[in-house]
Structure 1
């Protein structure tokens, strides 16, 4: 332990240097917390990308066809027992609540089970939901490509009767008029929050 003035001065200087270094680390941590979400979105893991799929009407639809109008995109399959019909029904209710503003938005339902979800089958299935919702299917490779672009998880799960079901991501992805990621809607998210996000998306604001 320093006991003289000559010994104390260097100790004080060392203490000041350590304190300043700690303060710098704290400020750096705060700055990182403020910019990290944006850095992840724009530099590390962007959501979305080019795709070309087939609608329930048998027509080709690509990401470039969507430019100029925001869209919501959801991944699932027609034989889904709960998550998909619930999400589509809640989306139908939200679109009705939007009134005329619903025409300013595209809603896409992408099948992760393209073997069974043909355009004709999807057309019959989607008759129960809002007409603004477009069903999309394609080849296994095309679905894999768009799934990768949107960081969607899905897998085939065999059932005991020799059939199979699909596990998949249940988020709705919100994309702005330029095809840029603007936020998500969670499964069974409250309707008021859902509507607020869709209105922000239509207005050109981040829904988060």
Structure 2
């Protein structure tokens, strides 16, 4: 009987430790995640491990920093304007989500950073973003600068530059949500519809 009681107490104590440990892990080192109810993505080191400081060139030719760019909730996407299918579709989806958010009273923007600065000059990027949405910012720079920015978000890409004018670029298709003073809080897959994306973004904005 005594052995049984000890066993029961041991199981109970283990359960308490497991539940308490899970609670502590979910809270994180800061003592709580204000966006816990909004999250579905999992990032090694947390979403806060994505992003950082950069200086790039916008579509007007002006040099800008990350703090000058991310002044409102931003849907950040890495791609290239010569992309034959994925980039235009993903960027159009992000643009549509901005309209849905605007209808909800949420002022957001999209940010497009090229991974192909050789062809994506400020003028080319400007033509791309202006055709998609007035609240889409296009950024380019030197190859070293755009590569460094891409790595900040752990974004994969591979230039297949064969010397022709029509080479392709392999790249990841995530869209990242960056909030002013909060940094990167989430990433979204390309299978979300504009309405679904807007709903997810709104959750983070309202919780911030």
**Which TM-score applies when normalising by structure 1?**
0.76
Pick aligned residue for 1:54 from 57, 63, 74 = 57
Corresponding residue number in structure 1 for 2:173: 170
Match of 2:99 in 1: 96
Counterpart contact for 2:79–2:112, Cα < 8 Å: yes
1:35 aligns with 2:27: yes
Counterparts of residues 137-152 of structure 1 (less than 5 Å):
137-152=140-155
Give how far 1:143 is off: 1.4
Task: Name the CA distance, whole Å, in 1 between partners of 2:166 and 2:193.
Answer: 34
Q: Which runs of 5+ in 2 are unaligned?
A: 34-43
Spell out structure 1 runs of 4+ moving beyond 6 A: 100-103
Provide the C-alpha distance between the structure 2 equivalents of 1:142 and 1:41, rounded to a whole number of angstroms. Answer: 24
Match of 2:115 among 112, 115, 118: 112
Cα offset, 1:189, TM superposition = 0.7
User: Which residue is 1:83 aligned to?
Assistant: 86
Name 1:26's counterpart in structure 2: 18
Cα distance in 1 for partners of 2:122, 2:105 equals 24
Shift of 1:133: 0.8
Question: More displaced, 101-110 or 132-141?
Answer: 101-110
* Structure of larger gyration radius: 1
Q: Tell me if the contact between 1:56 and 1:136 (Cα under 8 Å) persists in the aligned partners.
A: yes
Instruction: Quote the RMSD (CA, aligned, Å).
Output: 3.2
1:189 partnered with 2:189? no
Q: In structure 2, what is the equivalent of residue 205 of structure 1?
A: 207
Q: In 1, Cα distance between the equivalents of 2:206 and 2:145?
A: 29
- Going by fraction, where is helix more abundant, 1 or 2? 1
Q: Secondary structure at the match of 1:120?
A: helix
Shift in CA distance, 134/34, structure 1 to aligned 2, threshold 3 Å: same
Normalising by structure 2, report the TM-score: 0.76
Aligned pairs, number: 195
1:52-83 CA distances to partner (integer Å, 9 max, x unpaired)?
11011111121121354222211001111211
Q: Is the 8 A contact 1:176 1:204 kept in 2?
A: no
Closer/same/farther in 2, CA of residues 137 and 66 from structure 1, 3 Å limit: closer
2:75 corresponds in structure 1 to 72
Pairwise CA distance, 1:184: 2.6
